[in-house]
Amino acid sequence: MAELVYNQQGRLLFTEEMKQEYTLLMPQMLPVHFTMLKRVFEMQGFQVDMLTTTHRAIVDEGLKYVHNDTCYPALLVIGQLIDAVKSGKYDPHKVALLITQTGGGCRASNYIHLLRKALKRAGYDYIPVISVNLSGLEKNPGFRLDLKMVLKMAYSMIYGDILVNVANQCRPYELMEGETDRRIEKWVNRLVEDFPQRGAFKRNHVIDNFNAIVDDFASIPLHRTNKPRVGVVGEIYIKYAPLGNNNLEDFLRGEGCEPVVPGIMDFIIFKCDNRVEDHRIYGGKTATYIGASFLKKYCEGLQRDMIAAIARHPEFRPPCTFAHLKSLVKDYLGYGNKMGEGWLLTGEMLELIDSGTVNIVCTQPFGCLPNHVVGKGMVRRIKEKHPQSNIVCVDYDPGATRINQENRIKLMLSNAKLAQKKQAAHTVPAVQTGDGELSVPISGAGPAQTDTVQGAV
Ligand code: SF4
């Protein structure tokens, strides 16, 4: 069995020897993107298990080992990892835990310390914890991120974004149930197998892949009907993770809506932009400024190529560019506002409204001060300027019942559906199509907010 090795500060390391014997347990945040990440780690020779559990015991484990003042995503992620270790499925002496560290000023940088503390209290202090970060925060001899691996991880994010974007626009209307998910699986396999090939990250090759993905999803047989579009924004974990938001996207689809979820590329570019803005506002190292500016430009170029590929098919709505999103926030918040999701959260709400998706669920975890400022705290101002917006802020915490959360969302949806009916009846003439059916354009727009929903915010 692999020997336990500690560094000078007493941190248990993940060694080369452990790489041969151990299973890495990783939490899931974005189902498609993280499936690709898992495959990337496996290609590097790691045994990986991505945790997709959602049962109540996860919250209870979190409450047992994490201080109850800690923000809810930390409680969930740590509870899920400890629950998996205790499940009996793994030999606790042969697992290591993977957790991300953002390196920013928010608590997400410190989850790793909370996790180690929780493991110690639970009697598992012999389990190594591996930090996945690009800031050089913690290093392990058995888990090194070289340039090739970073590229594969980065491209998993952009490919994940394009897959999720077009899939979300197909799934609610598909004629053959499960066809969208089958295409996602096919593309995830194909793209990950493509990563080690020569030229896999050359621009022309990536553009070809983008175009092929969109063409493939455009060929899914659909019956497009006039469903209300609902945007999902909020703290990054709660917004994306089915465990965090109680399967919000499935719930919205079940209610007859099309969920619209902003991609993660905006968050990655936002992180680079933060460094550039820091330099503008406070000064600092020129090398950091140059590096961040280069990375930002590179990611923005990729995002533009993705948008161009989606825009080739008029039935799909591409996301806007990061530059446009940033410009929308100008009259609302300063660009130095970067804790949590910072100004990006406000920007995502504004971008959704700007692109016609006026119904929005803003997911807010317990204990998340920064996102209450840039999320819930900005709703009144957004509504003043965009009276047609229909926003509901939903709290997620260990004591909140799913039924309560869903009832609040249903209240918002009833207004969305009413608004859509009125719009269809009064402002948009129905069009007789060639096959004799009546059709109205798909839109998320609606009339001014009613008192009922304002009360719900
Ligand atoms: S953004 Fe909010 S939930 Fe996420 S780590 Fe920071 S405080 Fe916690």
SS3 for the chain, per residue? Answer: CCCCCECCCCCECCCHHHHHHCEEEEECCCHHHHHHHHHHHHHCCCEEEEECCCCCHHHHHHHHHCCCCCCHHHHHHHHHHHHHHHCCCCCHHHEEEEEECCCCCCHHHCHHHHHHHHHHHCCCCCCCEEEECCCCCCCECCECCCHHHHHHHHHHHHHHHHHHHHHHHHHHHECCCCHHHHHHHHHHHHHHHHCCCCCCCCHHHHHHHHHHHHHHHHCCCECCCCCCEEEEEECHHHHHCHHHHCCHHHHHHHCCCEEECCCCHHHHHHHHHHHHHHHHHHCCCHHHHHHHHHHHHHHHHHHHHHHHHHHCCCCCCCCCCHHHHHHHCCCCCCCCCCCCCCHHHHHHHHHHHHCCECEEEEEEECCCHHHHHHHHHHHHHHHHHCCCCEEEEEEECCCCCHHHHHHHHHHHHHHHHHHHHHHHHHCCCCEECCCCCEECCCCECCCCCCHHHHHHC
- Is the CB–ligand 1 distance for residue 340 below 6 Å? yes
The answer to whether the CB of 73 is under 6 A from ligand 1 is yes
The predicted pLDDT at position 256 comes to 95
Distance of CA 157 from the midpoint of ligand 1 (Å):
21
The atom number, within ligand 1, closest to the CA of 111 reads 5
pTM greater than the 0.85 cutoff: yes
CB of 342 closer than 6 angstroms to any ligand 1 atom = no
Ligand 1 binding pocket mutation candidate from 29, 343, 371 (most atoms within 8 A of CB): 371
Residues whose CB is less than 8 angstroms from the CB of residue 334 and which lie 6 or more positions away in sequence, other chains included? 343
pLDDT score, position 134? 75
Amino acid letter, 188: V
**CA–CA distance from 387 to each of 27, 133, 419, 445 (Å)?**
39, 41, 13, 11
Atom of ligand 1 nearest to the CA of 72: 3
108 lines ligand 1 (CB under 6 A): yes
pLDDT digits (tens, 9 = 90+) for 249-296: 999 999 999 999 999 999 999 999 999 999 999 999 999 999 999 999
Residue 443: the pLDDT is 40
Query: Could you tell me the distance, in angstroms and rounded to a whole number, from the CA of residue 264 to the centre of ligand 1?
Result: 16
What is the best residue among 100, 235, 339 to mutate for testing ligand 1's pocket, by most ligand atoms within 8 Å of CB?
A: 235
Cβ within 8 Å of residue 195, ≥6 positions away: 40, 43, 152, 155
Confirm if 70 and 114 have CB atoms less than 8 A apart: yes
Ligand 1 contacts CB of residue 249 (under 6 A):
no
The whole-number pLDDT of residue 427 equals 62
Identify the architecture of domain 16-144 in CATH. Answer: 3-Layer(aba) Sandwich (3.40)
Q: Which of 66, 110, 337, 368 for mutating ligand 1's site (highest number of atoms within 8 Å of CB)?
A: 368
Give the model's pLDDT for residue 447. Answer: 36
- Cα of 339 vs centre of ligand 1, distance in Å, is 8
Which residues of the chain fall below pLDDT 70? 427-457
Q: Taking the domains of the chain in order of start, what are their residue ranges?
A: 16-144, 146-223+264-315, 227-256+319-457
Q: Which atom of ligand 1 is nearest to the CA of 340?
A: 1
Largest Cα separation within the chain, whole Å, is: 76
- CA distances to 155, 249, 261, 425 from 31, rounded to whole Å, are 15, 12, 13, 38
Nearest residue CA, atom 1 of ligand 1?
A: 340
Q: What is the pLDDT of residues 209-249, one digit of tens each?
A: 999 999 999 999 999 999 999 999 999 999 999 999 999 99
User: How far apart (Å, rounded) are the C-alpha atoms in residues 367 and 404?
Assistant: 19
Q: What are phi and psi of 167, to 5 degrees?
A: -65, -40
Query: 202 alpha carbon to ligand 1 midpoint, in Å?
Result: 35
The torsion region of residue 340 among left (phi > 0), alpha (psi -120 to 50) and beta comes to: left
Query: What separation in Å is there between the alpha carbon of 72 and the centre of ligand 1?
Result: 8
For ligand 1, atom 3, the nearest C-alpha belongs to 368
- Report the nearest atom of ligand 1 relative to the CA of 106: 6
